[in-house]
Structure 1
Amino acid sequence: MPSKGWTASAAANAVRIKLRDDIAPETNLATFLTSSIEPEAERLFSDYLPYNIIDRDQYPGATELERHCVQTLAGLWNADLSAAVGAATTGSSEAALLAGTSLLRRWRHRGDTAGHKPNLVIGANAHVCWHKFCRYWDVEPRIAPAQQDRLHLTAQQARERCDADTIGVVSVFGSTIDGSYEPVAEIAAELDALAAESGLDVPIHVDAASGGFVAPFLDPERVWDFRLPRVRSINASGHKYGMVPAGLGWIVWRDPEARTNWLSFDTNYLGSTRANHELSFSRSAAPVVLQYYNFLRLGFEGFRAMHERSRVTAIALADALAGLGPFDVLGDGRDLPVVVVALREGERRWSLRELSAHLGTHNWSVPVYALPPDRQQTEVLRIVVRNELTAPHAKQLLDAVRGYLSGAMATPA
């Protein structure tokens, strides 16, 4: 810290110099986060950045926008609007922790859990936030391994791992590993059968961090949401396919009973007594303002058209990569607009990490990572198609891939 403050322009310039080597968000194909918004949205975000959404009395308008957004999402997810409750969070991770806490409290409320350790059933593709929940809340994670033909949780795997101490099953609707939707309806059917046979009543939480803002617009016929009675809660990330800058998440419960009153804390030092159900407290209202703005600005058809363009681009990109020869396509963009490829067996002349480094020289950030532990010998390259990646940009990316392969594949094995 300098002894005397700098001018605003000098301080801003120093910050920009420190960040000058960071990649432009628009060419960051590693992230699911929204990386560009239109000027009107930028102005709204800036205007309402100082508004603390937890100050309900001081900012009743922001509170009303949050309520409206929760109702909009509950409607998109086919909830009973007269019963559904929810809240904005700082991201899907906070929403997941709240959902897990509700499941844990529901299990403990049975009254016969003394000396028992609760467990949560998840797939190997589950986000790290679920592992955090299990560690922080002392819950046993029962992880279903990835399989050769699919990387997500199956209905049979879920059922096999449930017992009297299972607080719930988390079904990932839009995996960050390969972009796939888990078969929520099939999992629910298996748990219904388990309840009929054994009396075990295991609820489902749907982690729809990405899929929750895609499926309602592109796949309305797919049953994964509150149409399934066993689904107790759903989370989604407004800052992903909800088209809001980081960080914004949403959590919706089927009804107050699913949320449980145990999450509620009354506070009175901001004015009137208000109930708070979130883990965090003070946070900007700006992301919520932009979520409401997007619902008005885009409407249902606007969201549908935007995500359809991304899906079409992703499918075309996956098909083109499959046609190049050395790639096995593990994620083809037909669920989430995400493309995931691995090298075909026997290809040893080059690696995906070398390809990723080459793409970096063309200003594309494309991650390479190992699959979950059960298939950790396999590395994959993932391309997240967002609204910023247009068809011409996808062609430029493909040209960079082809340019690399023309040299790499000419090298003797």
Structure 2
Amino acid sequence: MSKSDVVALFGNRFLTKPAPSETFPEEGMTALDAMRLLDADLVMEGDPQRNLATFVTTWMEPEAQRIIAENLHRNFIDHAEYPISAEIEQRCVRMLADLFHAPGKTAGCRTQGSSEAIMLGALSLKWKWRERRKAAKLSVDRPNLVFGGDVHVVWEKFCRYFDVEPRIVPLAENKYTIGPEDVAAHLDENTIGVVAVLGTTFTGHKDDVVGIDKLLRDVRKERDLDIPIHVDAASGGFVWPFLYPDSKWDFQLEQVRSINVSGHKYGLVYPGIGWLIFREESDLAKDLVFYENYLGKTDATFTLNFSTGASMVLAQYYNFVRLGRQGYTYVMETMQSNARALADNLRSSGRFEVIGSDLEQLPLVAFRLVGKHAYDESDIAWQLSAERGWMVPAYTLPPNAEGVKILRALVKETMSREQVERLTEDIGRACATLDQKGATSDVERARVKGGTGY
């Protein structure tokens, strides 16, 4: 038997050869070899169950996974051939509009994630502002958008990509969200809208949407400027309705005209799926809608992406009908309970300050060291990963709070109380190790990140 025959029978030829990476391969390989090649690479990645950094869903029920797998070949945008997928999208839109208290008939769509939804929602703000200005025979050359330093970077991307002046409200130590007193000075006739965040990436809290709404209603009355709010509910849109049902932040507030939410975060669907919901049909700028018929029927589209799989839309609908309000409430309350247990453990250790756990917050724990140490939060994150494989991010807050460094642990649907206790113990062990050896050098941290994929 030749050596190639032996390899084919017993092994994988890439056990002793580098994987293709620089040039397009001349020859193919068996399906089994290709699968094993990828498996060998992916085994070096982190364990999603220990990834407390990502907001993105890392587990779904087997039935949902089956729906996804059986529909990966279905192109969502082809409404002529797949009209049921299109109808299911609109069912989800109507359900979300109901969840967010839309007053009547509305418009909305699925997107690849909240980044696309934000781009579309902000474009509609700009187009609607332009319509109002043109109707009044006023200039349309200096649009601006007001938001806090607590927003996701996609808002700054929008402003750069679509020629809008960003008016960013800075944060401060011990003030990690914004309210009407921060926004008022930035408003003028060229303001296309104000962004309010529901569940910030940094600490999990919300901007004062109620206060900003009142400010904008007063501005409309006193200055004849109708400035809308877009709520970036990427994370919080599937949390607040179930954990804080009496908290007003959505279309119950008059100036809230559009909302984005990520289905692949607390909507409990794998990436990527997001949603954009308008208060009323008239809040969608008509210039954003395109009509085409080259897939077999005339369709109106206003997404940035065209072809995309239907799987995650179907998976979102599965979650809606599988869980309902009762089920989502149960899941969110379970995560919140475990987050509070972790917060109590960290606070009781005497090593950490827990940030804002007495406020409305996502199911997460934001915490920072107290007292003087030879190491900081980044060293703890490094030690946790090196010793136990936990991925807990450490980062500084936005200007003008960049002097504050924190750790953040997301408590997911799959995190049990036993794992909360284990994480607490592992954080304690990491600190004890650092007490003895001091800070991990930046050189060593960089070396391992570059060499092993940390």
TM-score range for the pair, normalised by the shorter chain length: over 0.9
Q: Which residue number corresponds to residue 55 of structure 2?
A: 32
Query: 5+ residue gaps in structure 2?
Result: 1-23, 440-454
What is the SS of the residue equivalent to 2:380? Answer: helix
- The answer to whether residue 399 in structure 2 is matched with residue 373 in structure 1 is yes
Amino acid across the alignment from 2:89: E
Shift of residue 406, structure 1, vs aligned partner: 3.2
Q: Which residue number corresponds to residue 125 of structure 1?
A: 150
Amino acid across the alignment from 1:29: L
- The answer to whether residue 40 in structure 2 is matched with residue 14 in structure 1 is no
Shift of residue 410, structure 1, vs aligned partner: 6.3
- The answer to whether residue 226 in structure 2 is matched with residue 204 in structure 1 is no
Match of 1:218 among 238, 243, 264: 243
Shift of residue 148, structure 1, vs aligned partner: 2.5
Shift of residue 3, structure 1, vs aligned partner: 2.3
RMSD: 1.6
Query: 5+ residue gaps in structure 1?
Result: none
- The answer to whether residue 130 in structure 2 is matched with residue 104 in structure 1 is no
What is the SS of the residue equivalent to 1:284? Answer: coil
Conservation of the 8 A alpha-carbon contact between 1:54 and 1:282: yes
Q: Which residue number corresponds to residue 349 of structure 2?
A: 324
Alpha carbons of structure 1 residues 411 and 142: separation in structure 2 relative to 1, 3 Å: same
What is the SS of the residue equivalent to 1:226? Answer: coil
Q: Which residue number corresponds to residue 423 of structure 2?
A: 397
Separation (CA, whole Å) in 1 of partners of 2:35 and 2:417: 35
Query: 1:213-292 alignment to 2 at 5 Å?
Result: 213-292=238-317
Separation (CA, whole Å) in 2 of partners of 1:115 and 1:133: 17
What is the SS of the residue equivalent to 2:315? Answer: helix
Shift of residue 348, structure 1, vs aligned partner: 2.7
- The answer to whether residue 210 in structure 2 is matched with residue 188 in structure 1 is no
Separation (CA, whole Å) in 1 of partners of 2:436 and 2:360: 32
Shift of residue 363, structure 1, vs aligned partner: 1.3
Amino acid across the alignment from 1:68: R
Match of 2:368 among 328, 336, 342: 342
Alpha carbons of structure 1 residues 390 and 412: separation in structure 2 relative to 1, 3 Å: closer
Match of 1:53 among 42, 61, 76: 76
TM-score of the pair, normalised by structure 2: 0.88
Amino acid across the alignment from 1:37: M
Deviations along 1:32-90, one digit per CA (max 9) or x if unpaired, are: 0000111111111011111111000100110111010001100000012x421100000
Q: Which residue number corresponds to residue 165 of structure 2?
A: 140
Shift of residue 183, structure 1, vs aligned partner: 1.4
What is the SS of the residue equivalent to 2:400? Answer: helix
Larger Rg: 2
Deviations along 1:120-172, one digit per CA (max 9) or x if unpaired, are: 00000110110110000010111111122321121111122111110000000
Shift of residue 203, structure 1, vs aligned partner: 0.4
Conservation of the 8 A alpha-carbon contact between 2:206 and 2:360: no
Separation (CA, whole Å) in 2 of partners of 1:245 and 1:115: 40
Deviates more, 1:193-202 or 1:389-398: 193-202
Conservation of the 8 A alpha-carbon contact between 2:180 and 2:208: yes
Query: 1:65-84 alignment to 2 at 5 Å?
Result: 65-80=88-103, 82-84=104-106
Separation (CA, whole Å) in 1 of partners of 2:138 and 2:330: 49
Deviations along 1:323-346, one digit per CA (max 9) or x if unpaired, are: 2223222242841011111222x4
Shift of residue 378, structure 1, vs aligned partner: 1.7
What is the SS of the residue equivalent to 2:108? Answer: strand
